[in-house]
């Protein structure tokens, strides 16, 4: 078996012990005589998996009973549409902070169903940092404030989350469970699973229960969060395999010591890479220092013409997935929870060598 060092932005690397366990259980789950994918979502076996996954998430993120934890279809993009439909009470405008590609997508979707107030739009430098509190222009009586807490493409994150009287809604797709956060600060947290917690197509939604009654009856039953809370994520057939994988990934994370432990590892991994980028003018990273994501490290080679060569040589050394998003170009290493320290050490040593040959 030969596995790459996977720096892909998502679907991304999963922990090897998780994949091994899934392989071991693929044909027969427990004593059930069938794969978990072949069992009813109402079976005893799957019910146990689903509730273990939820309990693991509650433990890892310290989530109180004031919040519902949901597994939903359609990835994070479906949440872009559902949030305004469910929570924009009385047609009120919703505040959105525009920090890059993914917050822009959320804004576009929200604009389809009602008014949006852009509370900040990238600043004069364009999407290289998040705003300070005094730069944010909150609307009067906004329904909620939406942020993308980690912009996967631009590689920036919020060292401190913004304040608003309205509920704070965060797309945490590319950083969920990578650092300790206080869930109580948020009305809703959501994340596509395919970066830090499992396979694609699945979204994790953590929602304060007081928000559930906001949804008007004009919204289709399937599109109401309330429906999925009442149905305990089983209103219709869920992505059973995806939820099973989330259970395995969260088991792995708990065994590792939880979010505080992985955060310390993540900080170390990110520092190795940023220290390398800061070490010479051969490299440059556009993101302001205090907003540098510890999950998605984005950079350029000063002489951009060297980038295709860098990518080619890196791939030959089994360092894969380092191409920046097609909308911005350049280079990016996504170093999610499951990306081992060893992969980053190898990348840094490859970069040092590349610089010495081309600098």
Q: Any catalytic annotation for residue 252? A: no
The phi and psi torsions of 154 (rounded to 5 degrees) equal: -80, -20
- The residue with tokens 């009385």 is 90
Q: How far is the CB of 12 from ligand PMP (least distance, A)?
A: 9
Ranges of H-type helices in the chain: 16-25, 44-61, 75-87, 101-113, 225-230, 240-256, 259-278, 307-316, 341-358
Binding marks (x or -) toward ligand PMP, 240..279, rule CB under 6 A? Answer: ----------------------------------------
Q: How far is the CB of 173 from ligand PMP (least distance, A)?
A: 4
60-89 positions binding ligand PMP, by CB under 6 A: 75-77
**Cα–Cα nearest to 115, from 136, 143, 137:** 143
Q: Which of 95, 105, 182, 195 is catalytic?
A: 195
173 lies in the site for ligand PMP, by CB under 6 A: yes
From CA 192, how far away is CA 200, in angstroms rounded?
7
**Of positions 95, 171, 247, 263, contacts ligand PMP by CB under 6 A:** 171
Region from 61-69, 166-174, 223-231, 330-338 binding ligand PMP, contact rule CB under 6 A = 166-174
**Cα–Cα nearest to 147, from 133, 132, 162, 160:** 162
- Compare residues 55 and 200 and give the one whose CB is closer to ligand PMP: 200
123-152 positions binding ligand PMP, by CB under 6 A: 148, 152
Q: Is the dihedral of CA 296, 80, 209, 139 positive or negative?
A: positive
- The residue with tokens 């071991």 is 24
- Compare residues 97 and 348 and give the one whose CB is closer to ligand PMP: 97
337 lies in the site for ligand PMP, by CB under 6 A: no
- Compare residues 55 and 77 and give the one whose CB is closer to ligand PMP: 77
Total residue count of the chain as it appears in this document: 359
Count other Cβ atoms within 10 Å, centred on residue 305. 7
**Cα–Cα nearest to 147, from 124, 131, 128:** 131
Q: Which residues of 46-68 are buried (b: 16+ CB within 10 A; e: fewer)?
A: beebbebbbebbbebbebeeebb
From CA 220, how far away is CA 354, in angstroms rounded?
55
Binding marks (x or -) toward ligand PMP, 176..195, rule CB under 6 A? Answer: ----------------x---
Paired tokens of 325: 């998003």
Q: Which of 120, 171, 299, 323 is catalytic?
A: 171
Q: Which of 95, 102, 120, 299 is catalytic?
A: 102
Q: How far is the CB of 102 from ligand PMP (least distance, A)?
A: 4
Q: State which residue has the least CB distance to ligand PMP.
A: 75
Paired tokens of 321: 């997935």
215-234 positions binding ligand PMP, by CB under 6 A: none
- Compare residues 29 and 190 and give the one whose CB is closer to ligand PMP: 190
99 lies in the site for ligand PMP, by CB under 6 A: no
Residues 6+ apart with CB under 8 A from 31: none
Q: How far is the CB of 154 from ligand PMP (least distance, A)?
A: 10
- Compare residues 173 and 337 and give the one whose CB is closer to ligand PMP: 173
**Of positions 29, 96, 102, 252, contacts ligand PMP by CB under 6 A:** 102
Q: How far is the CB of 138 from ligand PMP (least distance, A)?
A: 22
Quick check: 330 and 17 in contact, CB under 8 A? no
Quick check: 58 and 69 in contact, CB under 8 A? yes
Point out the residues that are catalytic.
102, 171, 195
Q: Which positions lie near ligand PMP, rule CB under 6 A?
A: 10, 75-77, 102, 148, 152, 171, 173-174, 192, 200
């Amino acid at each position: 078996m030969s596995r790459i060092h996977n720096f892909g932005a998502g679907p991304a690397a999963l922990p090897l012990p998780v994949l091994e366990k899934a392989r071991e259980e693929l044909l027969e789950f427990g004593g059930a005589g069938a794969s978990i994918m072949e069992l009813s979502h109402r079976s005893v076996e799957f019910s146990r998996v689903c509730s273990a996954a939820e309990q693991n998430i509650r433990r890892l993120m310290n989530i109180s009973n004031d919040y519902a934890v949901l597994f939903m279809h359609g990835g994070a993009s479906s949440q872009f549409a559902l949030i305004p439909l469910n929570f924009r009470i009385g047609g009120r405008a919703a505040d959105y902070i525009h920090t890059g590609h993914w917050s822009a997508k959320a804004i576009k979707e929200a604009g389809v169903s009602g008014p949006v107030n852009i509370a900040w739009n990238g600043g004069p430098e364009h999407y290289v940092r998040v705003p300070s509190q005094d730069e944010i222009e909150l609307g009067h009586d906004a329904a909620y404030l939406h942020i993308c807490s980690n912009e996967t493409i631009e590689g920036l994150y919020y060292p401190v989350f913004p304040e608003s009287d309205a509920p704070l809604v965060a797309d945490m797709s590319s950083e969920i469970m990578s650092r300790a956060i206080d869930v109580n600060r948020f009305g809703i947290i959501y994340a596509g699973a395919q970066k830090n917690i499992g396979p694609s197509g699945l979204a994790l939604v953590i929602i304060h229960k007081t928000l559930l009654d906001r949804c008007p009856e004009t919204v289709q039953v399937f599109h109401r969060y309330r429906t999925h809370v009442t149905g305990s994520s089983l209103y219709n057939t869920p992505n059973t395999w995806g939820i099973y994988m989330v259970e395995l990934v969260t088991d792995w994370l708990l065994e590792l010591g939880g979010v505080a432990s992985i955060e310390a590892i993540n900080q170390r991994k990110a520092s190795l890479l940023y220290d390398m980028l800061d070490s010479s003018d051969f490299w440059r990273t556009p993101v302001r220092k205090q907003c540098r994501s510890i999950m998605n490290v984005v950079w350029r080679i000063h002489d951009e013409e060297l980038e295709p060569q860098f990518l080619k040589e890196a791939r030959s050394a089994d360092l894969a997935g380092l191409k920046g998003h097609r909308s911005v170009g350049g280079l990016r290493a996504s170093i999610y929870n499951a990306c081992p320290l060893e992969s980053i050490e190898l990348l840094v040593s490859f970069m040092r060598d590349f610089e010495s040959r081309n600098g």
